[in-house]
């Protein structure tokens, strides 16, 4: 079946602009995660959605970052007033969301964001 | 807090050589452990996982055993191929915090014919 999809695959923007990154999880997966992969910080957790529960936003690096998940499916990560340090690959992952710990997360191909 | 430490790369091997990539972790409780692989130009893929102590995960000739006594999850393969060239990430699931994954820094493997 279809895996996790993300769009756009590449995004180049100017410093100070807002960007929106989209994630379509695997159908039926109730858990959705955003991670960021950058040269300086490696792979780091950003935010987690599980069903109708309040999201875990503990990994968001600043209040310029926000995310929402509509209808328990598609998610959008928004970065306002982008800075050069926001340049990274943004990865989305989804999982069934059942038993914790044993659940496998499946990753999308990522969106490469470049802030000039 | 929870963390993962893995050996720095790059690891450079000839085809058919034995591979070990070391991974140790610090965690409270009993996390699940994972190895993910990122081939050039591709996304992260789950390679193998183990969910409890002494479990062995295996896939594509790779193996890793969850060792609670040494807090380790070393990745091994008996005979590497050029096609195994990739970046390998060790990770644990942080069950205390929404099951997010905590990753090591990644180890680049380069296999030459």
Q: How far is B11 from chain A (nearest CA, A)?
A: 18
Contact in structure between A71 and A8 (CB atoms under 8 Å): no
Closest chain B residue by Cα to residue A104: B46
* Interface contacts A/B by beta carbons within 8 Å: 59
Instruction: Determine what percent of chain A is predicted with pLDDT higher than 70.
Output: 95
Token look-up 């050069």 returns A84
CA-based Rg of chain A, rounded to a whole angstrom?
Answer: 14
Q: pLDDT at position A42, please?
A: 83
| Mean pLDDT calculated for residue range A31-56 | 89
> DSSP 3-state assignment of B72?
strand
Confidence label for A102 from pLDDT (cuts 50, 70 and 90): low
Taking 80 as the threshold, does the pLDDT of residue A103 lie above it? Answer: no
Confidence label for A63 from pLDDT (cuts 50, 70 and 90): very high
Please indicate whether, in this complex, the C-beta atoms of B30 and A101 are within 8 angstroms of each other. yes
Confidence label for A39 from pLDDT (cuts 50, 70 and 90): confident
| Mean pLDDT calculated for residue range B37-53 | 91
| Mean pLDDT calculated for residue range B12-18 | 97
**The dihedral sign for the CA sequence A89, B105, B35, B41:** positive
Cα–Cα distance for residue pair B75/B89, rounded to 1 Å: 10
Mean model confidence pLDDT for chain B: 93
Q: What share of chain B is helix, strand, coil (3-state, %, to 5)?
A: 5, 55, 45
Question: Closest to A107 (Cβ–Cβ): which among B43, B49, B102?
Answer: B43
Q: Mean pLDDT lowest for which of A1-10, A41-50, A64-73, B92-101?
A: B92-101
Please indicate whether, in this complex, the C-beta atoms of B99 and A101 are within 8 angstroms of each other. yes
B39 contacts in chain A (CB < 8 Å): none
Q: Which positions in chain A have a beta carbon within 8 angstroms of at least one beta carbon in chain B?
A: 31, 33, 35, 42-45, 48, 50, 56, 58-59, 91, 93, 95, 100-110
Contact in structure between B91 and B73 (CB atoms under 8 Å): no
Beta strand pairing call for B75-77 and B100-103: unpaired
Confidence label for B74 from pLDDT (cuts 50, 70 and 90): very high
Task: Identify the bridge partners of residue A75 per DSSP, sorted by sequence position.
Answer: A23, A69
């Amino acid at each position: 079946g279809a895996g996790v999809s993300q769009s756009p695959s590449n995004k180049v923007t100017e410093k100070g602009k807002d960007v929106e990154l989209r994630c379509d999880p695997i159908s039926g997966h109730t858990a959705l995660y955003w991670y960021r992969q950058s040269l300086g910080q490696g792979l780091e957790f950003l935010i987690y959605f599980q069903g109708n529960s309040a999201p875990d936003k503990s990994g968001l690096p600043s209040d310029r970052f926000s995310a929402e998940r509509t209808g328990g499916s598609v998610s959008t990560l928004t970065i306002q007033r982008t800075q050069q340090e926001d340049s990274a690959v943004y990865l989305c992952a989804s999982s069934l969301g059942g038993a914790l710990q044993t659940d496998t997360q499946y990753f999308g191909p990522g969106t490469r964001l470049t802030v000039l | 807090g929870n963390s993962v430490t893995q050996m720095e790369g790059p690891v450079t091997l000839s085809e058919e050589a034995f591979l070990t990539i070391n991974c140790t972790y610090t965690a409270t409780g009993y996390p699940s452990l994972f190895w993910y692989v990122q081939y050039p130009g591709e996304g992260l893929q789950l390679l193998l996982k183990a969910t409890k102590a002494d479990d062995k995960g295996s896939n594509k000739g790779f193996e890793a055993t969850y060792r609670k006594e040494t807090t380790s999850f070393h990745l091994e393969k008996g005979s590497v191929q050029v096609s195994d060239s990739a970046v390998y990430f060790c990770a644990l699931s942080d069950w205390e915090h929404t099951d997010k994954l905590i990753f090591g820094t990644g180890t680049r493997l380069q296999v030459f014919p």
